């Protein structure tokens, strides 16, 4: 039961270019979405979030876009830096479901110098 | 910067043995969680804990699992009789407030290997 999907297991991008990581969800009850970054041997680190009342949230080099009708969100990183190389997890939650987050399987981003 | 800390970083145990994974959440946080990630798979929710009781748990969190906050600072996950399939990274997380519009802060994880 994959409620949150990240269909690209990996992505390679040249340094300085834009990285676009995609996430799709199936549960229309989800109303809050987060992106976490994870380095090897570390726990997930919160990156950026978006509520369903918005369609865009920006924080420095990171922008998340939400298309509710398509049940799709994306994370844009521009410009990409080698230190951005990590696994990126999309996570979703629903106010009526409590506090648990449903994670996608992750996308491994490699930023090449 | 405050952080969630977990001990040990790696635990090896024999099948059938009990293990306790320990976590120290961020001090002013009120909501606590355990997640796990089996190698190569996604991060999965196990349980959330608030006000000294479980507020939500997943299907994974069966009778073999238990959580407690014994002393107001530690938050533990106990697996009574470990199985091979319990081998995974276990992440503790905490958050300040209730509701999905708050981010959870994760610890670095405990790698549990059941042999």
Does A102 contact B45 at a Cβ distance shorter than 8 Å?
Answer: yes
Query: Which chain A residues touch B44 with a CB distance below 8 Å?
Result: 103
The per-residue b/e assignment along B71-91, b for 16 or more CB within 10 angstroms, e otherwise, is: eeeebbbebeebeeebbbbbb
pLDDT for residue B42: 86
DSSP labels, B46-83: EEEEETTEEEEE-TT--TTEEEE-SSSS-EEEEESS--
Residues B15-36 have pLDDT tens digits of 999 999 999 999 989 999 999 9
> What angle is formed at CA B66 by the lines to CA A46 and CA B60, rounded to 5 degrees?
65
Q: What percent of chain B has pLDDT over 70?
A: 97
Alpha carbons A79 and A15: distance in angstroms, whole number: 7
Tens digit of each residue's pLDDT, chain A (113 residues): 679 999 999 999 999 999 999 999 998 989 889 999 999 878 899 899 998 999 999 999 999 999 999 999 999 999 999 999 999 999 998 876 556 788 999 999 999 99
Q: What percent of chain B has pLDDT over 90?
A: 74
* Chain B residue set in contact with A, beta carbons under 8 Å: 4, 6, 31, 33, 35, 41-45, 48, 50, 55-56, 58, 91, 93, 95, 98-101, 103-109
């Amino acid at each position: 039961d994959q409620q949150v999907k990240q269909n690209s297991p990996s992505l390679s991008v040249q340094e300085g270019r834009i990285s676009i990581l995609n996430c799709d969800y199936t549960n229309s009850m989800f109303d809050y979405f987060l992106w976490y970054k994870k380095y090897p041997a570390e726990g997930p680190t919160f990156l950026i979030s978006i509520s369903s009342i918005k369609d865009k949230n920006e924080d420095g080099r990171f922008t998340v876009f939400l298309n509710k009708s398509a049940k799709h969100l994306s994370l844009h990183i521009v410009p990409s830096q080698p230190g951005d190389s990590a696994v990126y997890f999309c996570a979703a939650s629903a106010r009526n479901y409590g506090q648990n987050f449903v994670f996608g399987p992750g996308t491994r981003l490699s930023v090449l110098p | 910067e405050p952080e969630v800390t977990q001990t040990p970083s790696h635990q090896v145990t024999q099948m059938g043995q009990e293990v306790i994974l320990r976590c120290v959440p961020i001090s002013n946080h009120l909501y606590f969680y355990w997640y796990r990630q089996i190698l190569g798979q996604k991060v999965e929710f196990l349980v959330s804990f608030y006000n000294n009781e479980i507020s939500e748990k997943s299907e994974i969190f069966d009778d073999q699992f238990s959580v407690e906050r014994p002393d107001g600072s530690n938050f533990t996950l106990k697996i009574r009789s470990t199985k091979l399939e319990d081998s995974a990274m276990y992440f503790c997380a905490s958050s300040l407030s209730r509701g999905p519009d708050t981010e959870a802060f994760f610890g670095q994880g405990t790698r549990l290997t059941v042999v």
